[in-house]
Structure 1
């Protein structure tokens, strides 16, 4: 039987194998989910009770999930534990969320109307490799809470850990409500294009998001797309430079920089670049790069060869054009995996690919600026609009700058602070639709109007 092979990105050893789903098996899974939808949608209180049980199950079985997540994805055990924790929070939030299933419509002579919010049906959740547990749960928790059934298709390289999580949750949920299929792009396309799929939720690259959108268009299936981001951090003249540099150094290299909303570059006033770079370099000097299962490791490898080579190419190109590596630049370990140590670069501008492209790795460029309006024009002209941050002592002034940025989330004096209680998503090429908050549940509901003309 054909199988997907998971490889540890730190050691390059095999982690395990998962059988590839056949087209016939996929069809059975989707049809089963569609069959049980009718009963699952009817009792919200029952669903919320099971959402709480799912939250508790993830918490109680964290020690089963973390080693598999570390081995298959590459992140540290501490990062993996945090991912499970926030995933459990997603289920708890879904259980506690409240919305009106129905509300009266505006009055009109001789008729009355009811406006209803009803579930869509069976949802396809297509999940990437960087946060496979969190991004799976971020889709299935609100979808299930809203009354939908779900079929998950994880990225091939993280099939083991997502399969484990789905098995844990399926032990709690009624049979058929949550299922999983495994395979490559052909299985993904078959799932997206299946005639019984009523919504597709996808997180991943903008390129693949466009492809999924085209595939879903054949059956007029609605989609939620959380796509790429090249998130800027803007340090203002009045900022506490040390605080900004320390905070950005911590968040930029979380999960080896493989995070869509990680800060991927900083714009710093010209006169403060030296201080910023010194503090930032000091902050990353103590990083320990290695196998995520080692408790001393503070940053694991990049997830695969292609990603590592892409980031290295951007770094090499920047240096060839005159950029300076302030700190890092090496592998940081003798292990054979896809390693690149935390790296700080200065002497670049927006014409460098390292700045202009979403590099998705542990290299952080610093761009000196003299005119804030020019920075904002540059930031808003980019194709992405996922996240950004503004750093300044005057909260009102920093907020005023934040409100000029075209992005789905703009943080002030913090970055990538994704909270399950708040809606999250992008604009422009970063996608559309929202996950998190009540808006994340509403994305899995549709409106139905019942309009009644009285005969009496």
Structure 2
């Protein structure tokens, strides 16, 4: 009989120290590529949340009093530490998520480091009104001050990236943080906090692991003045209701259901190549994934054939399998959610390729393309968050725009056309926070990332994202 592999142990990071949950309770961490346990993490309770929030509160006065230059230096050093420890961070992330190791190391790690370095510079470039005499005999100036203790809750699809998107602007603005990562993917966030502890005073960045009840305790804690969440629409609604009781500020980056408008004059080969890669990246577990492709009916059949053929050649695999275009779904619950949507497809829908989970250990699902879906179908209205794409025809530009907007979410969209005026009309008409033209999915640290309607409010990244973590104070002399 083979020896049972030793489970890794993840600990909370509170007040600069690695500590277990006060109760000793733990959660089991499952490797999505094998469906077997690989580690344990603390199941934190109210006592742990209290300790972390108190540590963040006690650290706030000192950290908020540092100069922008000091905060910049700390963030730059953390970025350097992450770069040096890229292999360790990759191992932690891959164990929790099952992502292809090479893709995380080459795609995500550099982007994560770039966000830290951007906010290091942004700490010294807060925008504001010019001091002036807006009333006779009185000089007004504007101070941008940190909010206080920030509770941050991050998801399981990009554990380290989403942690950095939240932590970097909060620290750059002079706040202190209590971060709760997803219960299934805490490892890389805890490692981030341990690396950062070498360059931050104790209590500035704390991580408490746990489940939904842990998150509820954190949101309700009286020390917390801002709650930032990346997660599902339902989670955002529940957190917003809870935060309202204490009038906490909110930053919600919630679900997406991105429409893609492919017009008859688009470069068909380029659109197929780019979209097939971007739609299934990270097994489609991306709030901006190209999930609803709307194609001019004159090129619909040609696009569908080419896209489905390309999708069929994109194979999921384990982290170290060379052929893997993407990894498994993150957990059994998400695999069940995706298969449930497919099982409930109406008869008028056709699964062109894929559709059935792979018969192997782990939570693997092939790239799946669906034709014949109608606007009112669940598969169109719901965010799938898996490697599933619908392809629908449209007759004219106005119909495409109506179909694009006729879902509750409004995070991102893309338009594929050679017609500049058509692209500009779409930019105005699409009710989303992001519009890409002849590309899809690329983010840059300098530009905001956020949505409208059921995709939430507030922005990650950019100077706009930095201002989310400040409060304005008018001073008149």
Select the residue among 243, 249, 255 that pairs with 2:276. 249
Residue aligned with 1:253, SS: helix
Match of 1:325 in 2: 351
Q: Confirm or deny that 1:34 pairs with 2:57.
A: yes
Q: Per-residue deviation at 1:314?
A: 1.8
1:50 paired to 2:74: yes
Corresponding residue SS for 2:61: helix
* Number of equivalences: 450
Using the size of structure 1 for normalisation, the TM-score is 0.95
Say which SS state the counterpart of residue 95 (structure 1) adopts.
helix
Distance 1:305 1:16 in 2: 16
Separation of aligned partners in 2, 1:285 and 1:377:
30
Partner of 2:162 in structure 1? 135
Aligned pairs for 1:81-100 (under 5 A) are 81=105, 82-97=107-122, 98-100=125-127
Q: Is the 8 A contact 1:34 1:122 kept in 2?
A: yes
> How big is the shift at 1:381?
3.1
Instruction: Show the counterpart of 2:4.
Output: none
Equivalent in the alignment of 2:391: 366
Alignment of 1:234 with 2:261, yes or no, is yes
Q: CA offsets, 1:327-373, max 9 Å, x none? A: 222334x4221121001111222122111111111111100111221
The 5 A counterparts of 1:30-429 are 30-42=53-65, 43-81=67-105, 82-97=107-122, 98-100=125-127, 103-318=130-345, 320-332=346-358, 334-429=359-454
Matched position secondary structure for 2:413: strand
Offset of residue 127 of structure 1 = 0.5
Which range moves more in the overlay, 434-443 or 160-169? Answer: 160-169
Aligned residue in 1 for 2:8: none
How large is the Cα RMSD of the aligned pairs? Answer: 1.5
Task: Indicate whether 1:439 and 2:464 are aligned.
Answer: yes
Name the CA shift for 1:56/1:213 in 2 (closer, same or farther; >3 Å).
Answer: same
How far apart in 2 are the matches of 1:116 and 1:161?
35
1:158 counterpart SS class = coil
Change (3 A) 1:100 1:235: closer
TM score, norm. by length of structure 2: 0.91
CA contact (8 A) 1:70 1:293 kept: no
Shift of the alpha carbon at 1:106? 4.1
- Structure 1 gap ranges (5+): none
More deviation in 276-285 or 220-229?
276-285
Greater alpha carbon shift after TM alignment, 152-161 vs 94-103: 94-103
Q: 1:13 aligns with which of 36, 39, 43?
A: 36
- Helix, strand or coil at the partner of 1:351: coil
Deviation at 1:105, TM superposition (A): 4.8
Note the residue ranges of structure 2 that are not aligned, 5 or more in a row.
Answer: 1-23
In the TM superposition, what is the alpha-carbon distance from 1:101 to its structure 2 partner?
6.8
Q: CA–CA distance in 1 between the matches of 2:176 and 2:130?
A: 24
Cα pair 2:74 2:199 within 8 Å, conserved: yes
